[in-house]
């Protein structure tokens, strides 16, 4: 089976199950991406170095890695709805730990809980959408990630707004807890289809059938693409504050330009994928991403930098969902095993790449450290090229 995305039918069915999957992934994204917006406040409040403060997103990533290794077994044993409910509850508990943390060790532990338990949502929702929507899987997963960036934008705006009106950054996290509670109520009674026959997972673990070689090249592509996306999310608020001189509350809002670009790009997935193939869309995204980054990074004008940040989000928007879709298709019947390992790739990327940027920033400054990000985009394109070639043969 090749990883080429199938043709997209004219209409997509957006029923209650679809919205449950969309909103669950959005809630996960809210908690994941708010990390970048609260990092300056954690850094100042606890007087942390760049390297230490990045242990917060690193803890989320470590949780994703743990769940990526073992979470698929839990979803098989207890079911998809159980996994989503537990995942949402775990993220809310982790957020509460960060809110009340008297010491960075507690907030880092809260981040780990958010990643390790919340990752169950990340494992289940793409395969539910792929199974439910068939040939429309690329559009459904793209739309899910687009709505997720509504949540990401909401997180950025909430931090800036609550800080500006005196409620503090913790109020933004508490908003996420409230939204997670409302979503749990919405999920009651949602009929969620069961996973594919269990032989898939058994084979994946016992060594009978394995994820194909093409899948692993897409897996490496995910690492590189996610590394760029998460590094921008983690460090943009700090970059705007330290390098561009934007006040921290305003910087948290301005950083939302990236999420806005991601939102526009992902919600346009149906429009894009009815006109060009997923592969061409990925190559085009890289062509947009690299110059957009340099406009954001190097422009002396804040206005041009924000335009570059928006264009960077637009370029990055479809990279993860389209690569994930290709990986799921390449995996054939091993869908949930594929998404579990893909979350492992995301976790490794989030754990390593933003931390490397922070470690470099401690030695060279944040401006120079950020300049390495286009290299990851180029590496991602190289892995994608090889994956496409292997999939065709």
Each residue's pLDDT tens digit in the chain (393 positions)?
333 444 444 466 777 888 998 999 999 989 987 877 888 888 888 888 877 887 888 888 889 889 888 888 888 888 888 999 999 999 999 999 999 999 999 999 999 999 999 999 988 888 888 776 666 677 778 788 788 878 877 888 898 899 989 999 999 999 999 999 999 999 887 777 766 554 444 444 444 458 899 999 999 999 999 999 989 988 898 899 988 888 877 887 888 899 889 888 888 877 888 888 889 999 999 999 999 999 999 998 999 999 999 999 999 999 998 999 899 888 877 777 888 899 889 888 988 898 899 889 989 999 999 999 999 999 999 999 999 999 887
Q: Distance between CA 42 and CA 48 in Å, rounded?
A: 8
Show me where the domains of the chain are located. Answer: 16-189+210-392
Say whether 250 sits in a helix, a strand or coil. helix
What pLDDT, on a 0 to 100 scale, did the predictor assign at position 40?
83
What pLDDT, on a 0 to 100 scale, did the predictor assign at position 11?
62
**DSSP 8-state code for residue 135:** G
The alpha-helical segments, DSSP class H, found in the chain are: 16-46, 50-53, 55-78, 80-100, 104-133, 137-164, 170-187, 199-206, 213-242, 248-254, 256-267, 269-273, 278-298, 302-316, 319-330, 335-364, 366-370, 373-392
User: What tokens were used for 377?
Assistant: 């985009």
What pLDDT, on a 0 to 100 scale, did the predictor assign at position 204?
41
User: What tokens were used for 170?
Assistant: 């913790």
- CA 14, chain centre distance (Å): 22
What pLDDT, on a 0 to 100 scale, did the predictor assign at position 23?
93
What pLDDT, on a 0 to 100 scale, did the predictor assign at position 86?
95
Which fold, 16-189+210-392?
A: Growth Hormone; Chain: A; (1.20.1250)
CA proximity to 335, closest of 86, 55, 108, 80: 80
What pLDDT, on a 0 to 100 scale, did the predictor assign at position 206?
42
Residue pair 178/171 in contact by the 8 Å Cβ criterion? no
Q: Exposure of 76 by Cβ count < 10 A (0-12 exposed, 13-18 middle, 19+ buried)?
A: buried
What pLDDT, on a 0 to 100 scale, did the predictor assign at position 72?
83
What pLDDT, on a 0 to 100 scale, did the predictor assign at position 197?
56
């Amino acid at each position: 089976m090749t990883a080429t995305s199938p043709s997209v039918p004219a209409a997509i069915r957006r029923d209650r199950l679809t919205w449950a999957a969309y909103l669950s992934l959005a809630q996960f994204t809210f908690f994941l991406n708010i990390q970048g917006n609260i990092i300056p406040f954690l850094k100042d409040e606890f007087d942390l170095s760049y390297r230490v403060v990045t242990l917060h997103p690193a803890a989320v990533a470590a949780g994703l890695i743990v769940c990526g290794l073992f979470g698929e077994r839990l979803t098989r044993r207890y079911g998809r709805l159980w996994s989503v409910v537990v995942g949402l509850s775990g993220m809310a508990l982790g957020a509460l730990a960060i809110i009340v943390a008297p010491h960075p060790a507690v907030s880092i532990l809260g981040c780990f809980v958010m990643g390790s338990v919340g990752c169950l949502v990340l494992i289940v929702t793409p395969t539910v959408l792929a199974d439910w929507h068939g040939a429309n899987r690329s559009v459904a997963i793209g739309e899910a990630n687009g709505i997720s960036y509504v949540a990401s934008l909401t997180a950025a705006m909430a931090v800036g707004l609550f800080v500006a009106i005196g409620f503090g950054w913790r109020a933004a996290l508490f908003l996420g807890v409230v939204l997670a509670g409302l979503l749990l109520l919405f999920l009651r009674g949602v009929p969620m289809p069961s996973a594919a026959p269990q032989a898939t997972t058994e084979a994946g673990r016992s060594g009978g059938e394995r994820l194909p070689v093409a899948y692993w090249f897409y897996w490496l592509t995910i690492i590189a693409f996610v590394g760029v996306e998460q590094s921008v999310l983690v460090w943009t608020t700090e970059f705007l504050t330290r390098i561009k001189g934007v006040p921290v509350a305003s910087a948290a809002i301005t950083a939302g330009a990236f999420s806005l670009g991601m939102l526009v790009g992902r919600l346009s997935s149906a429009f894009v994928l009815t006109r060009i193939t997923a592969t061409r869309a990925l190559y085009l995204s890289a062509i947009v991403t690299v110059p957009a980054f340099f406009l954001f990074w190097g422009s002396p004008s804040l206005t041009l930098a924000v335009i570059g940040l928006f264009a960077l989000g637009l370029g990055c928007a479809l990279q993860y969902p389209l690569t994930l879709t290709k990986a799921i298709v390449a995996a054939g019947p091993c869908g949930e095993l594929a998404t579990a390992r893909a979350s492992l790739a995301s976790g490794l990327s989030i754990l390593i790449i933003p931390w490397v940027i922070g470690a470099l920033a401690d030695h060279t400054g944040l401006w120079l450290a950020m300049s390495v990000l286009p290299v990851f985009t180029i590496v991602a394109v190289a892995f994608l090229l090889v994956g496409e070639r292997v999939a065709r043969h």
